[in-house]
Amino acid sequence: MTENETKSGLFNEFLPVSKQQWEEKIEKDLKGANRDKKLVWRPIEGFNVEPYYRSEDLDDKKYLDTHPGEFPFTRGNKVKDNDWLIRQDIVVDDIKKANNKALEVLMKGVNSLGFIFENDEKISQEDFNALFENIWANSVEVNFISGYSSTKYVRFLEELTRKRNRNPEDIKGSIDFDPFIHLTLHGNFPVTEEKSFELLREFVEDSKCLPNFRILSVNGQYFNNAGATIVQELAFSLAMGNEYLSKTTDKAITIDEIATRIQFIFGAGSNYFMEIAKLRAARILWANIVKAYNPSNDSITQMHIHTTTSDWNKTIYDPYVNMLRTTTEAMSSVIGGTDSLTVKSFDSAYKKPDEFSDRIARNQQLLLKEESYLGKIVDPAAGSYYIENLTNSIAEHAWKLFIEIEGQRGYIEALKKGFIQNLIEESANQRNMNIAMRKEVLLGTNQYPDFKEKAKTRIGKSADNYVEAKEILAKPIKLYRGAEAFEELRLKTEKSSKTPKVFLFTYGNLAMRKARATFAMNFFACAGFEVIDNFGFKTIEEGIRVAKEASANIVVICSSDDEYAEIAPEIYNNVKDDAIVVVAGYPKNIIDDLKVKGIEHFIHVKSNLLSELSKFQRLLDL
């Protein structure tokens, strides 16, 4: 369409439709049903999401008048493209092997390295130099993950830079120095609180030789991996970041010096559009927080974001499904404007990555960049009525929670009082209930499991972030995965000496029996039970005979509500001595009558899957 055609009103024959007309149509189609209950989504984040948005819903969003690279950086820090750094993390348990792996992945598209030191007490300058043999630190971003010990790697890097005659301004990367997250995960500071900030002050001074290296991390990813909501992850991260600013500027460090040295690390979950909006909202709020400290220019207020795919929703059963999860998480991170990204391997929940899983994780990013071109367009989500409103809602609610934390004298005091832990526990419990009720689906775990899969060799004891300390200042938050309870349930069946048999007694109405048989099959397979399906029996007698021949432990009657009144008692009376009888569905008009006749087990869409399956395991003495 040419510009002249547009101006001439080519589409004037289509009359505009007002919001009132849409609402009148919705009211008519709902036929008296409550609009808000039927169509308005209220996610766990605590705000309403409308079924549709229009251009007028953007009228009050003032930040929409800005361009990419402009305060408050809603639309990102980048102005020419949406490129990001592809990061791959490497565990350094052998210097030579880590160096070889780093060189290998750098030849395969990676341009950011993360070195994880699990035991770095004996790492020397010579070891560090050997780790970087043939690696040009001025051509690739380098990151060091070692918690409190990370500070020494800046000194090592400075020495290596001088030795190899590199330009210090070209050295980019970060270390994972974050005393607050140590307090959050372990209940105490790595040293004392005062000593931690004295070290940070010294650290800022010592690292001036590497002006573009980030020396302080705000690890919001751990809130994500403890089951926090998106709003909580953002608010708690901002509170940590603000307290870092407050305490360091009190020690004669300028806002310009510290704000540009902070890296925020967020976890990316599977709530696709919300995760896009989270990063956009994060930049708005952080820019305004830093602005309050009177930096020399607006560029100081930019938030540098590294994103890593979440651990919380990853599963041990059907682990290849994790590839789907990490793909959408990577997409939302990139579209949201992350500066760098780590895609964790699909098998990271139960083992260290191997060559195959590493390659898959790396190539997921390469496909998004080189074949989907997600790095070409600045802020591709801009102008979306839906995402812009999500951005605004997340920003408003995160800011409200941030102010509440500040009202308690900041992050540390709020943590010591248990305020932050209590909120995370509440949201985690709600998410656990949603998984148990299958309102939140973990494919392959609480819905559509692989019936024949065995995973007991993969499952080990869950990691515990608690460490013994002389003084516990705050209750540690608990890191876990949402699938753990279901995995333990299924593992219990695997380890038992018998595998329960569930017999589907399909009879009567074809559509209903098939639907309920499918439901029951997936229901019991989530606990690793063997399910025996049937095409439908012509007579009750035939079904009873086959069920007994199968030596079934559980017989599930699959039919229609209308037929249950007659057939369920007959089936129950004939097999109750040999098996547990279950009715698929909840025939509310006759359920009391069925209970009077002895039938007590009903499974349906409102059942708590976890508690029901646990009950059947107890009844079968597993």
Mean pLDDT score of the chain: 93
Q: How do residues 105-119 score in pLDDT, each as one tens digit?
A: 999 999 999 999 987
Distance CA 547, CA 532 (A): 9
Q: Does residue 467 surpass a pLDDT of 80?
A: no
Predicted pLDDT at 10: 66
Average pLDDT over residues 469-496: 91
Predicted pLDDT at 297: 97
Q: Does residue 517 surpass a pLDDT of 70?
A: yes
Q: Which fold has domain 496-619?
A: Rossmann fold (3.40.50)
Average pLDDT over residues 429-440: 96
Nearest to 431, CA basis, from 485, 473, 511: 485
Which H or E element spans position 155?
helix 151-163
Distance CA 389, CA 393 (A): 6
Q: What is the percent of the chain with per-residue pLDDT over 90, rounded to a whole number?
A: 84
Q: How do residues 222-243 score in pLDDT, each as one tens digit?
A: 999 999 999 999 999 999 999 9
Mention every residue, 6+ apart, whose C-beta is less than 8 A from residue 433: 608
Half-sphere exposure of 170 (CA within 13 A, CB side): 11
Q: Which of 29-33, 150-154, 569-573 is predicted with the least confidence, judged by mean pLDDT?
A: 150-154
Predicted pLDDT at 49: 97
Q: Does residue 65 surpass a pLDDT of 50?
A: yes
Q: How do residues 278-302 score in pLDDT, each as one tens digit?
A: 999 999 999 999 999 999 999 999 9
Predicted pLDDT at 74: 95
Strands (E) across 220-261 are located at none
Q: CA 181 from chain center: how many Å? A: 18
Predicted pLDDT at 469: 47
Predicted pLDDT at 198: 87
Q: Does residue 375 surpass a pLDDT of 50?
A: yes
Tokens 């995760």 belong to which residue? Answer: 275
**What would the DSSP string read from start to end of 283-297?**
HHHHHHHHHTT--SS
Q: What single letter denotes the amino acid at residue 562?
A: D
Task: Categorize the per-residue pLDDT at 11 as very low, low, confident or very high, splitting at 50, 70 and 90.
Answer: low
Q: How do residues 72-98 score in pLDDT, each as one tens digit?
A: 999 999 999 999 999 999 999 999 999
Q: Does residue 578 surpass a pLDDT of 90?
A: yes
CB 620 within 8 A of CB 553: yes
Average pLDDT over residues 205-224: 94
Distance CA 223, CA 415 (A): 13
Predicted pLDDT at 1: 46
Predicted pLDDT at 611: 97
Q: Does residue 456 surpass a pLDDT of 90?
A: no
* Model confidence, pTM: 0.94
**What would the DSSP string read from start to end of 511-566?**
HHHHHHHHHHHHHHHTTT-EEE--S-BSSHHHHHHHHHHTT-SEEEEES-HHHHHH
CB 83 within 8 A of CB 141: no
CB 446 within 8 A of CB 486: yes
Whether omega before 72 lies within 30 degrees of 0, making that bond cis, reads: yes
CB 579 within 8 A of CB 546: no
Predicted pLDDT at 118: 81
Distance CA 247, CA 250 (A): 5
Rounded to 5 degrees, what are φ and ψ at 506? Answer: -95, 125
DSSP 8-state assignment for residue 479: P
Task: Categorize the per-residue pLDDT at 143 as very low, low, confident or very high, splitting at 50, 70 and 90.
Answer: very high
Predicted pLDDT at 463: 46
Q: How do residues 240-293 score in pLDDT, each as one tens digit?
A: 999 999 999 988 899 999 999 999 999 999 999 999 999 999 999 999 999 999
Mention every residue, 6+ apart, whose C-beta is less than 8 A from residue 292: none
CB atoms within 10 A of CB 24: 11
Half-sphere exposure of 325 (CA within 13 A, CB side): 26
Q: Does residue 468 surpass a pLDDT of 80?
A: no
Predicted pLDDT at 8: 54
Cα dihedral sign, 448-453-458-459: positive
Where do the domains of the chain lie?
62-80+162-412, 496-619
Strands 554-558 and 601-603: unpaired
Q: Does residue 470 surpass a pLDDT of 60?
A: no
Distance CA 399, CA 441 (A): 29
Is domain 62-80+162-412 annotated with CATH 3.20.20.240?
Answer: yes
